[in-house]
Structure formats: structure tokens, C-alpha cells
A = this chain, B = another copy of it.
Amino acid sequence: MLAPLTMERLLALSAIPACDISESARAMARMSLFDWLTVSRAGSDQPLARIIRDLVAAEGGQPAATVVGLVPRVPARAAALANGTISHALDYDDTHFAHVGHPSVAVMPAALAVGEEGDRSASAVLDAFLLGAEASIRVGIVLGRQHYERGFHQTATAGAFGASLAAARLMELSRDETRHALSLVGTRASGLKSQFGSMGKPYNAGLAASNGVEAAALAKRGFVSCDDGVGGPQGFVDAHVDEVFESEAWSQDLFLFENVKHKLHACCHGLHATLEALRDLRRRSALDPERVAQLSVCVNPRWLRVCDIKAPRTGLEAKFSYTMTSAMTLFGVDTAAEHVYTDTLCRDPRLVAFGKLVDVRADPGLSDTAARVWVELTDGSKLESTHDLAAPLPLAALEGGLRAKARALLGEAAATELWSDVAACDRLSARALGHLLNR
């Protein structure tokens, strides 16, 4: 039973001095910052974005922090709620598989809002985000797969602890105040998977962010919680998992965050390894899709129940289809662009015809981050490729992928400008970082 130690370890994490944070972790945090700004801006016109902005705009109040797509600034707690929700609207943000969740959409909105409110530097925001995200990942691992299976959404639940840690650090809370913030958010953290497929899913990310800000803001003012609302008796872990196992979360070196994965395609994550393997084939040989006789795709069996719609009819269905996204990749349709997934696309005769050549098979020997593809050409020759998303991507390749994604979502000029702003963010204030949401 390691859970009771969780509080002490979270407190230790929150107190790591900036000089002890590795540059490799910071580089990855910067990638996530760029990606988070990209998907936030790209999701800014979604119906749910309009609704949540309307709520916080109607409330108004102290102009402390920026909301994507809103001119007046609003209180930090409200900005965190709105930005968390909007940034997860496209479900195109980063994922940490061990956490079983999306770290950036829960933690970044809290860090940014509190950083803006307190007029901190962008570097302080980035460090607080990194430590908060690390906290959310480790709490997510402690909660484990059983928590997720029970119906809870780690992005929201574990995310709230990360958000409160990031907020507490930026508010420069004492150790005791940080403890109260973390304990208090234990009674506030929530989020269920029944919301998947509705606006409630992105809302869950907003909850995590705003809960974290609220708990830290109260602790800063002297609010007293119980000793350990995280791993203590009847604390969050105790109430939300059936059995607390000896967890590996805390025995691993910093930073688990470095294993975060960024989505480079605007479709279900279960398709990404396949699309990367196909892109690899295209890079290696000038593969003409008209010359393909058959394409075989092998993936872990779990994905066949998730994203194997054979003949998608809508843009949304296309996002869950091996046949359609494989055809898109080989015909050069940009799978990173949100707007290409349309009902019209699903009626494109070339894509539909190609889809019939695709054979998707289950291979229990493959992990759920891997895919193997092989192509038989009309001349009888064969090509094969394998990709595993778990393998670390070289930073330059990740940069290339994220910038291509930003171009697909925001356009060439905006993507270039955003990249250079984020690359130079060490010289920015948190408020200048906030401006990037609405450039």
C-alpha cells in the first residue's frame, strides 16, 4: 500500500527547484505547450467553445487571465475552466498512456491562468506545468487501469491534482499550504467516462484545471483541509479505486512526462501507428496507390472494436476507420488537418475503391501502440513497414510533425509565428504567453 506516501511525494515534486529540472524534460514541455496552443486555437470555433466562453463572459469579473477566443480577460478560475474545455474540444491534444490520460489540457490551463494572474514568467509557467503534469501522470498510475475501468476519467481526476500542484507552485504556496491545496482538490476532483462522445468529455479537462486553481487559491488564503485528502483514509485514492496495489509510479525516475505522445493525425489514436507505417512506406518508395493490389494492416485486437469502420459515411466515422485513413494517407490527403474529415470525403470514389483493398487483422502479439502493414502491388512485389508509437521520436522529428499539424490547423503563417514565439518563450511573460491564445 503505497498510496499514503503519495502526498509526501507530491509535496517533494512541487518543491523541486528550477535548476534541478532537466533540459530534455523542458524541451518536451515546450513541445506540449506549442501543441496545446495549436489545438486550443484550432478548437476555438467549436460549439462547446462558444458555450463555455458565453458562461464566463456573462459572469465577467477581474481581468486576470486570457480565454481562447474571448477579448476580455476573466478570473483565473474561470479561464482555466474555459481553456481546459476548449483545448480538449478536438480531442487532438497530447496523451500519456501510463497516466491513462491527457496531461496538457488539464494542467496547462491552470498554470497559464495562475501565471497570468500573478504576472509570472513564461518559464515559471512551463516549469510548473511540467511538475504538475508529472504529478497528474503519477497519480494516474497510482489510480491505475481499475479506476478507468470503473468509469472514471483520469484526465479529469488525476489531472486535478496536477493542476493544483502547478497552481500552488506558481502562487508560491508554502509546503503546508500546498498540502492543503492538494488535500482540498481531493474532495473536488471528478470526471466520468460516460461523457465520452459528448461535450462532457472536454468539459472534464476544464474541471480538472479549474478545480486545481480553486483549491490553490483557497489554500493561499488560509483554507484548511484534512491532512491527506489524496492517499489518506477516505481520501481520493481510497474512495476511487477498489484496491491500492504496490504502485510503480513513484519508483521511476523523473520525468515520466517525457513519454508523452502528441497526436499528429486528427483521428482516433488507434489508427496512428498504421498511418505512420504507411507514411514510412511512402517516404521509402514512391508508392502509387493506383498500383496497390492489397494492403494488409495488423494491429492489437483491442483496436478492432474501436476504429475499424469499414465503410464510413460521415467525417466523424472516417476518424475511426482504418480503410479510409489508410486511403487518405496513400492518396496524399493530410490526415493532420481537422477539416478534411468530411461526409464528402467518404464518397470520394478513389478512396472508397481503395478502401476495399484494405484488410485489417488482429495480432495479439502487437502492443496497442504498434502496427505492421504490408502492401502487395499489382506487379506482385511486396513492401512492408512497422511502426510503434511507444518508441521515442527524435525531437527534430517531433518538431516537424507538430509544426506540420499546426500548419494544417492554423495555416502556414500562424503556425510559423506561433512556433517562433514558443521557441523564444523563455524571454516572455506569462501574460505574453496568454496573448498567443488569441493571436
- Chain A: residues with CB nearer than 8 A to chain B? 47-48, 51-52, 54-55, 58-62, 75, 77-78, 150-153, 156, 183-184, 186-200, 203-204, 207, 214, 217-218, 221-226, 228-229, 232-236, 238-239
Contacts and interface: CB of A to CB of B under 8 A. Distances in A.
B47 A222 contact: yes
Given A224-B198, A224-B199, A218 B52 contact: yes
Given A200-B229, A226-B194, A234-B192, A151 B239 contact: yes
Contacts of A234: 151, 192-194
A142 to B, nearest CB: 16
Contacts of A204: 187
B221 A200 contact: no
9 contacts: A52-B218, A55-B214, A55-B217, A55-B218, A59-B62, A156-B187, A187-B207, A192-B229, A194-B234
Nearest to A192: B187
A190 B195 CA distance: 16
A227 to B, nearest CB: 9
Copies per complex of this chain: 2
Contact of A226 (B188, B197, B239): B197
A90 to B, nearest CB: 16
Contact of A225 (B198, B207, B228): B198
A229 B197 CA distance: 12
A200 B226 contact: yes
Of A51, A58, A59, A222, the most chain B CB neighbours within 10 A belong to A59
B51 A75 contact: no
B187 A191 contact: yes
The 8 closest A-B pairs by CB, nearest first: A61-B61, A151-B239, A151-B234, A59-B75, A194-B234, A190-B190, A60-B61, A200-B225
Nearest to A197: B226
Contacts of A238: 151, 194
Given A54-B221, A59-B61, 10 more contacts: A47-B222, A51-B221, A60-B75, A186-B194, A187-B191, A187-B192, A195-B226, A197-B226, A200-B226, A203-B218
A192 B199 CA distance: 26
A116 B35 CA distance: 42
A239 B150 contact: yes
Given A152-B239, A187-B204, A195 B229 contact: yes
A184 B48 CA distance: 13
A306 to B, nearest CB: 16
A150 B238 CA distance: 8
Contact of A183 (B61, B78, B200): B200
Contacts of A214: 55
